[in-house]
Amino acid sequence: MAEQLHFLRAFVTRSRWLRFFFDVACVLLGIGSRGAVVTRIEAESELEGTRGSRWHIHGWVSPGFEAVRAAFVENFARRNELGGACAVFRGSAQVVDLWGGVRDRASQSPWRADTMGIVHSATKGMAAMVMALADSRGWLDYEQRVCEYWPEFAQNGKGEITLRQLLAHQAGLFGFDEPVDREVVADLDRLAGVMERQHPAWPAGARQAYHAISLGFYEGELIRRVDPQHRTLGQVFDQEIAKPLGIDFYIRVPEWIPDEEIAPLEAPSLVRRIFGMPLSVTLDAMRSESILHRALIANPGTQFYLDPQRVVVRNLEVPSGGGVGSARAIAKAYGVLASGGRELGLDSRTLAALAAPARPTPRGFFDECFHGEARFSLGFMKPGPTFPFGRPSAFGAPGAGGAMGYADPETGIGYGYVTSRMGTSLSGDPRDVALRAALLEA
């Protein structure tokens, strides 16, 4: 049975609609898309949430993952979930596929099996996969200086910055001195010039501050230079990762994606934003000279790639935050990295580097942007005391508002969570934390 289903899925992956109907059929028959018998949630299960809200929950879990299903249901009943999805892969086999609620409050359109969400900085994990691919193929080396591949980068004191330091947010390049807007971001040569002229805030590796938006632009220019075809990072991701894996994730959202397939992210109220974050972070957000303000709030900030009319701006590459995708896509990609990377041709040396512990600055892992500890390595976040996930060798990326994806090489698990209602926690959204805690019980 499993072999026949594997053959069918390989065939239907060529079409999004065929894949959708195939997955629905598997749910209704009570089997996983990989052939495993699953614990099935009825297609029209109804749940009463907070304030009299009623939500429909869909999907299935394999035996042993019932706690994840329970946590997903509790997110609607107790944690004010609006709409979202959670998926888990063990290697190439999907073991959790859950979705429910609504895509957005205004239309009350249901969250469907293939709904994609805005994941903000969870995009960084997908961009880091491109960097890992480049390392595996010998296009670049994590230990080399950035200027070895991009000579003009060495201007204004950046000559000693290594790729590893840049990807660990230790380069002091969290903001831009020159104006950066959509027009600049769309012109990659012009954007490269801005980055080349940028002065670092401190010597290479001296301190750490989250490169919220800027990191992806530096990664993108590096990929343009080292890729033999000189493709953009988004193009490499699409052609070398997304299409081979058959996943719905886009770093550069094309025009042809219908708006209705992407869930807008409902912003928290002003009160929740003020009291849901540490006071030091709230105050820094209002100070134009602060590191946090320069990295997250302005020039260009984290809102410039959103579009009130079309959910997100189309054909604009923002590898640090502008991606959209499904929970299935995130989980499947991380599942591949967690179980050897064979489908993408990743070598064991690169995977060992991703699983290795993060390397601190002389000031440890204190992040000047967040005023607290955060661990980063090779473009991914690593688990630590303030943001634990998976086992010590895990690596992933959370996104502002609650989205999360990670790979756990010790268990072969790939995890993805996407939501349509933005949270405010900096140490893991309670909905995501509940799902990940349940996953550890499996």
DSSP structure string for 276-311 = SS-HHHHHHHH-TTSHHIIIIISTT-SSTTEETTTE
Chain centroid to Cα 332, Å, comes to 12
Q: Which helix (H) or strand (E) holds 224?
A: helix 214-226
Mention every residue, 6+ apart, whose C-beta is less than 8 A from residue 185: 191, 217, 300, 304, 316, 317, 318
Q: The tokens 């019932």 sit on which residue?
A: 66
Burial (0-12, 13-18, 19+ Cβ within 10 Å), 225: middle
Q: What is the rounded distance in angstroms from the CA atom of residue 241 to the CA atom of residue 416?
A: 16
Closest CA relative to residue 395, chosen from 139, 90, 128: 128
Q: Can you tell me whether residue 118 is helix, strand or coil?
A: strand
Please say whether the beta carbons of 435 and 79 come within 8 A: no
What pLDDT is attached to residue 42? 39
What pLDDT is attached to residue 164? 98
Q: The tokens 């989250």 sit on which residue?
A: 210
Order of strands across the sheet with 262-263? 249-250, 324-325, 116-118, 262-263
Torsion of Cα atoms, 32 then 36 then 41 then 44, to 10°: 30
Closest CA relative to residue 37, chosen from 71, 2, 11, 6: 2
Count of all residues that appear for the chain in the document? 442
User: Which parts of the chain sit beneath pLDDT 50?
Assistant: 1-7, 9-14, 16-17, 20, 22-24, 26-38, 41-44
* CB neighbours of residue 393 within 10 Å: 19
Q: The tokens 């193929």 sit on which residue?
A: 137
Domain coordinates of the chain in residue numbers? Answer: 117-407
Q: Can you tell me whether residue 206 is helix, strand or coil?
A: coil
DSSP alpha helices (H): ranges in 287-372?
A: 291-292, 327-338, 348-355
- Please give the CATH number for the structural domain made up of 117-407: 3.40.710.10
Residue type, 50: T
